Structure 1
Amino acid sequence: MAEAVFHPPRRKRRVFESYEAPFPVDVGGKDFRLCQAEIINNNVIVRNPEDIDQLYNKGYFGKGILSRSRPVFSISDPLLVAKWRGIDTNMPIITSQKYQRRVQWAKSVLQEQGLDDCSITKILENYTKPQGLPFSRGDGADQTGDSCPRGGPNPADAEVSRKSAGTEGAQSAEGHNEGSQEEAALDPGSGSRHQEQDNSREMAEGSCHRDLCGCEVKQSPEQRAWEGLDSRECAPEYVLVQEEEEGSSCPEDDSTHAEENLVKKEVLVCRKNPFRIFEYLQLSLEEAFFLVYALGCLCIYYGEEPLSIVKLWEVFSEVKPDFKTTYMAYHYFRGKGWVPKVGLKYGTDLLLYRKGPPFYHASYSVIAELVDDNFEGSLRRPLSWMSLSGLNRTTANASKELMLCYLIRPSDMTAEEMSTPECMKRIKVQELIVTRWVSSRERSEQDEF
């Protein structure tokens, strides 16, 4: 067997952030924070914004349910933000079409709750009416941030005008995958449908509605998992909607040319978002168990009940039959300083990053197998020479190396021992890097000698 040739990790050309810490725990123990998560539809979800920042910024655990990695989803249109960059506000700026789509979503929710069309129309008209802008213009007053007056807004301050160069005002198109991503995130982020129905009447009276304005229903005291939820989720979200008004640019012209001289006047109108969607952090089962078992900085709830380490080991093994194998490999590589991520994209179990995905490309694609002392056992994915060669070539084309991680358990280890995470103390690990032998390269190297 040839010796492995180790290649240094490839650093990314552009790095837009600084490295904070390998784990979301303080070495001195002064600023220790116990994060909270919940199991929803066999997924581990973190909802508290402060916990999300803690877990992702320190160790790059999880991914945003609406983002590729870091949870940075925003409904604000980047092109509109650049277009209205002179406006001093941090509210999202969206197109009228995008806003109307959310109105239709809110209407569908109310229809499912059995409300008649007349009541739905009145509710939505009252909820989506123009609001006062939460920033001042030209009077030297300080910006008030995300807050927006709940009382009667001043209609004169409800719009910010801007003239367009022509009738074809520039309006950005919505992202091609925005709708599918947002709709896919409704179930894990919205909670129970019954809670939405119980609060439908509150919106008709002008109060927050769980699904229509994005607020969370106030939990009972025993639901300790969500005591740390940010108060921002209990308030409606205000957005600036770019709308158009028609006006005559040349009033002195005769009426025969009046229609030709009409130009569209673009304005930003402050309104409540009728269908707010929150982005949460989704942890893989291996990441969640590592935070609970190895670091002790996460508490996972199922409903109102916090789950113990042994219970999580049992539940995760039922949800994912090969969880024990993949977690042992995850725990091993995390302990060596790597940042493992799901390797499904390349047909493997794990991808290994140095420091984290923002800084380096993945160095290895890992396949984990649990075997006995004689390297025998029921393999999770038996590989033929053809499939192994194809997998290795796929990995090599992505500038990575294929690694087989064998988790060796003693022959005398019983199933009862495997029922708790303490079994990992007797597990040995052997790494095997797979490389493709190229005959022409071998001949050229021999000719040099």
Structure 2
Amino acid sequence: MAPRWKGKAAEAKALAEPMSTIVSRLQSSLIESNSQGLLSGCSVLLAAHPEQTELFNHACFGRPIISAEKDKQWFQLSLEEALYLCSVMKCIKVVGENKCEKNDEELWRYMTSKKVGFPFLFKAYSHLRMKNWVVRAGTQYGVDFVAYRHHPALVHSEYAVLVLSDEDDNKNTRLKAWSDFHCTLRLCGSVAKTLLILHISKNGDGAIFPSSLENYCVEERIVTRWNPEQSRENQTIVQKESCKS
């Protein structure tokens, strides 16, 4: 399925300013300002000055929170976004309610306790983000994430992403029955998205810590509905005969 750009100039605008460039600028700005995020339940709150606000919006990290403060804008980061900025891009620090900085292991324990399957969701999120896809929550489509080629203002999301793992193989979970596939594919088709399954395999035992994520394999699988008319060798002949009749 080809990208569906929003307007004639959208593709040119995206090519002129690649997502990798925007994210790199955000990274530099956050490092320079020694930015800190505050753990708050199942999210991380981070304050941004006006320049960073624009970069956060363009890079599609977090969601802005309405605030009365004029000199700063607060962003609510998902756990995946916060850990990606902290442990992968290394451009923010995260503190708890006591204002003490959390190290990687403390942060990991906290986040895995707050979200079921977080290790695999984070691996999938970081896998797509490092390929310069914009990744957003996919709850409204019944999937884990949706992936955009660039900013959502310029292009519609192309992929509806489901994250599966070795743990899922040993349990009766999603996509174990044909009806699960059928329902998910029908939904993806109705919203013009391709179903992308990211299957994550462990290489070894133990918990996944941010520093060892590279030891886990991600297998990408695209699932589509088969249209027999698109596979017929005599399709052209059939079409011509239909026109004649």
Normalised to the residue count of structure 2, the TM-score between the two structures is 0.80
Q: Give, in whole Å, the separation in 1 of the partners of 2:120 and 2:216.
A: 11
Q: Give, in whole Å, the separation in 2 of the partners of 1:56 and 1:63.
A: 9
**Change beyond 3 A, Cα 1:391–1:37:** same
2:236 paired with 1:448: yes
Corresponding position of 2:96: 302
In the alignment, residue 209 of structure 2 is paired with which amino acid?
T
**Change beyond 3 A, Cα 1:54–1:311:** farther
Gaps of 5+ in 2: 238-245
Corresponding position of 1:432: 221
RCO (CA 8 Å, sep 6+): is it higher in 1 or 2?
1
Following superposition, the deviation at residue 419 of structure 1 comes to 4.5
Give the counterpart of 2:84 among 290, 295, 318.
290
Q: Give, in whole Å, the separation in 1 of the partners of 2:216 and 2:144.
A: 19
Q: Give, in whole Å, the separation in 1 of the partners of 2:31 and 2:44.
A: 24
Q: Give, in whole Å, the separation in 2 of the partners of 1:396 and 1:377.
A: 29
Contact 2:65-2:76 at 8 Å conserved across structures: yes
Corresponding position of 1:10: 4
What percent of counterpart residues are identical?
A: 24
Following superposition, the deviation at residue 302 of structure 1 comes to 1.1
In the alignment, residue 9 of structure 1 is paired with which amino acid?
P
**Change beyond 3 A, Cα 1:311–1:446:** farther
Contact 2:124-2:163 at 8 Å conserved across structures: yes
**Change beyond 3 A, Cα 1:42–1:447:** closer
Q: Give, in whole Å, the separation in 2 of the partners of 1:430 and 1:362.
A: 20
Contact 1:25-1:33 at 8 Å conserved across structures: no
Q: Give, in whole Å, the separation in 2 of the partners of 1:442 and 1:341.
A: 34
Q: Give, in whole Å, the separation in 2 of the partners of 1:420 and 1:448.
A: 54
Corresponding position of 1:44: 44
Following superposition, the deviation at residue 33 of structure 1 comes to 3.4
Contact 2:31-2:92 at 8 Å conserved across structures: no
Superposition CA RMSD, Å? 3.0
Q: Give, in whole Å, the separation in 2 of the partners of 1:322 and 1:384.
A: 21
Give the counterpart of 1:25 among 17, 24, 27.
27
Q: Give, in whole Å, the separation in 1 of the partners of 2:235 and 2:53.
A: 56
Corresponding position of 1:329: 124
Following superposition, the deviation at residue 408 of structure 1 comes to 1.7
Greater fraction helix = 2
Following superposition, the deviation at residue 378 of structure 1 comes to 3.6
Larger Rg: 1
Normalised to the residue count of structure 1, the TM-score between the two structures is 0.46
Gaps of 5+ in 1: 1-6, 67-188, 190-213, 216-229, 234-278
Contact 1:46-1:52 at 8 Å conserved across structures: no
Give the counterpart of 1:358 among 139, 153, 156.
153
